[in-house]
Structure 1
Amino acid sequence: MNYVRRGTGKPLLLIHGIGSSHRSWDRIIDGLAAERDVIAVDLPGFGDTPPLTGEVSIGTLSDAITDFLAENNLIGVDAVGSSMGARLVLELARRGGILGAVVSLDPGGFWQGWEIPFFYHSVRLSAQLVKQLQPVLPTLTNNPVSRTLLFAQFSARPWKIPAQVALNELRTFIPTPTFSELLTNLAYGEKQQGAPAGSIQLPLVIGWGRQDLVCLPSQSKLALRLFPDAHLHWFSHSGHFPQLDVPEEATQLILDVTDGTYQPQTDQSHEQDTQPKTTQSDSILIGVSAAIVLGVGLFLAFRPVEQR
């Protein structure tokens, strides 16, 4: 498994989401490495790590991570995951004896009903669009308007993402065989099992962006029901990727949780309002941007083959 390692101190594992790589952490890795020995991996089938042979699922990826930790004498390492990676660290925490403190950022796998096809088709279409746009991505990511259109579903303020960070993220967001199999598994495959109250003794914090349009904030209720030992941390000005939208806040949360100084927020209970909190202007911009992305994506995905 390919990885980058920076810094000194207590080890900290970073696990990216679907269609990404270790570059997903570019905005926060230096801040973390100032105080931690950071290991950012490329999951099998992403970045520079070859794909798994056989089934690709949350279960087999969790096994692969466990093997990697054992081979590198990292069992018990503190860990942070994003999106699919956030679900992976929850699964590893549930298994017990593999990880230390855990921070799970906007985890997938807690959608229900109409949210399942919404997740599947919107992400699949976005990946198809990005694949078609690969030749012109440098130009598109360098412009704040087109960058906003491309990241409308994933970021609360996509125009603020640095151009190079956006380009690195989109270079790997394409429907490879591993990507496609995992996307289907995430949406329609194995359900995330929980951990009974009292079974997770080490710190566990689930961070969620209030403006997440991939894993909707209301899904945090099910996450807390399945993981009652977890604390819920709200990112008030973030979409699906806090490490992109609010890098300083995400960095501080990770450092606080992993050094034992984290103080839970007061509005984390199961009964609190978990709907996205956006301004009217943000909602209009994101809605219009998403509609344009979907329209362009449909055109690119379904136009006649001879025109491609």
Structure 2
Amino acid sequence: MVGVEDVQYVTLHGKRRAYVKKGTGPAVLLLHGLACDHTTWAHVIDDLAERYTVIAPDLLGHGRSDKPRADYTLGGYANGMRDLLTVLGIDKVTVVGHSFGGGVAMQFAYQFPERTQRVMLVSTGGLGREVTPLIRLVQVPGWFRLVGMLTLPGVRHVETLALRTAAGYATFGPLRKYTRDLDEAAAIVESWRDRRTRFAIRHLVRAVIDWRGQIVTMSDRAYLSEAMPMAVLWGAEDLVIPATHADHARALAPDVRVDVLGDSGHFPHKDHPAEFVRLLDDFISTTEPAAYNRARFRRMLKAGATAPLGPLAAVAAAEARDEVRDEAITSA
């Protein structure tokens, strides 16, 4: 199991980044979700490291990495991952992104296709508008101060104890759907006692979510996945981002591999670590790594702008209609 002794540090552009690097073989970059860190992958890193060079960073503003006033956009995170890999001497990777990390993974593949061999998205953002209201609340005025009060010593200990107790006792039956991810929620509450972490999370959320839900979508660029092997994995009982978004992936990119695991929530890699490792290993071993070709990329960009109506265009059109409807409601 990955421990504190496995964490290494590198300073990039004056900001310290924490990461875990284990194993040998083809490189796999594991990107965690919002308010999490590299420990979310703790149950799968060692098994993956038997066959791959695994890099699991703490994204800027998370975990043991610095939490400065900085660029917390998807593009900024993708640049940071490019720079980290460059310092580590790694040229090309299979990128695996969970939740918000899935958005970073997609952005990385879009910005740096020449360095991306494959993409695996786990309960990812960017495939639809819906997201739990608890994340939308981060933008509400007063959230920063309220969470500061709720994470004071004593109050925080009661909250985290209650969350972990509920997660431990309701391990089966109908309540399991609502309690399985509460231990992860407890870890997030713990991390929010640091005002710098709250600052980073608030700015991050504002970059990708508004009061109507997710802003960033892959629908307008999904056709580029034709040149990039892509897999999508979801937990059937995800309460953070609905598993129906996996169907969006099928519509947007018909060649994508999609797996939905039963008895699993927002963290399928924690609920079923052995199955996660098997699926990722199968994805890597049965697909050829993407080979970037500038001329082909240029042709795809030109064709994408004038593509005939199909699944991709239908999803984009639906999103445009929703946008018009919401604007009408707002101005009414």
| TM-score (ref. length: structure 2) | 0.65
Mapping of 1:277-288 within 5 angstroms?
none
Instruction: Determine if the alignment matches structure 1 residue 258 to structure 2 residue 278.
Output: no
- Residue type matched to 2:18 in 1? N
Question: How many residues are matched?
Answer: 252
Which letter does structure 1 place at the counterpart of 2:203?
Answer: E
Q: State the distance in 1 between where 2:161 and 2:282 align.
A: 38
Alignment of 1:1-308 (within 5 A): 1-51=17-67, 53-95=69-111, 96-112=113-129, 115=130, 118=133, 120-121=135-136, 128=147, 131=151, 133-136=155-158, 139-140=161-162, 143=165, 145=166, 147=168, 156=177, 158=179, 168=187, 171-172=190-191, 176-188=198-210, 191-193=216-218, 194-197=220-223, 199-260=225-286
- Shift in Å, 1:210: 1.2
Residue 18 (structure 1) shift: 0.8
> Which shifted more, 64-73 or 208-217?
64-73
Question: What is the alpha-carbon distance in structure 1 between the residues aligned to residue 270 and residue 203 of structure 2?
Answer: 26
Distance in 2 (CA, whole Å) between partners of 1:57 and 1:12 is 22
Same amino acid, percent of matched pairs = 24
Distance 1:33 1:185, change over 3 A: same
Paired with 2:248 and 2:42, the residues of 1 have a C-alpha distance of: 30
Label 1:119 to 1:90 Cα distance change in 2 as closer, same or farther (>3 A): farther
Which structure has the larger Rg?
2
2:191 and 2:168 map into 1 onto residues whose CA distance is 16
1:219, distance to aligned residue in structure 2 (A):
2.3
Q: Offset of 1:199 from its aligned partner? A: 4.9
Q: Which runs of 5+ in 2 are unaligned?
A: 1-16, 171-175, 289-310, 312-332
Q: Measure, in 2, the Cα distance between the counterparts of 1:225 and 1:97.
A: 25
Per-residue deviation at 1:201? 2.8
Query: In structure 2, what is the Cα distance between the partners aligned to 1:166 and 1:11?
Result: 30
Q: Can you give the 5+ residue segments of structure 1 that lack an aligned partner in the other structure? A: 150-154, 263-269, 271-308
Deviations 1:38-75 (A, max 9, x none): 11100001111113543311121112112222222223
1:246 Cα offset (Å): 1.5
Q: Secondary structure at the match of 1:67?
A: helix
CA–CA separation in structure 1 for the residues paired with 2:134 and 2:226:
29
Q: Is the 8 A contact 1:56 1:181 kept in 2?
A: yes
Judging changes above 3 Å, is the alpha-carbon distance between structure 1 residues 167 and 213 closer, same or farther for their aligned structure 2 residues?
Answer: closer
What amino acid is the match of 1:214?
Answer: V
Shift of 1:204: 0.9
Instruction: Return closer, same or farther for 1:123/1:258 CA change in 2, 3 Å cut-off.
Output: farther
C-alpha RMSD of matched pairs (Å):
3.3
* C-alpha spacing 1:198/1:60, structure 2 compared with 1 (3 Å): closer
What TM-score, normalized by structure 1, do the two folds share?
0.69
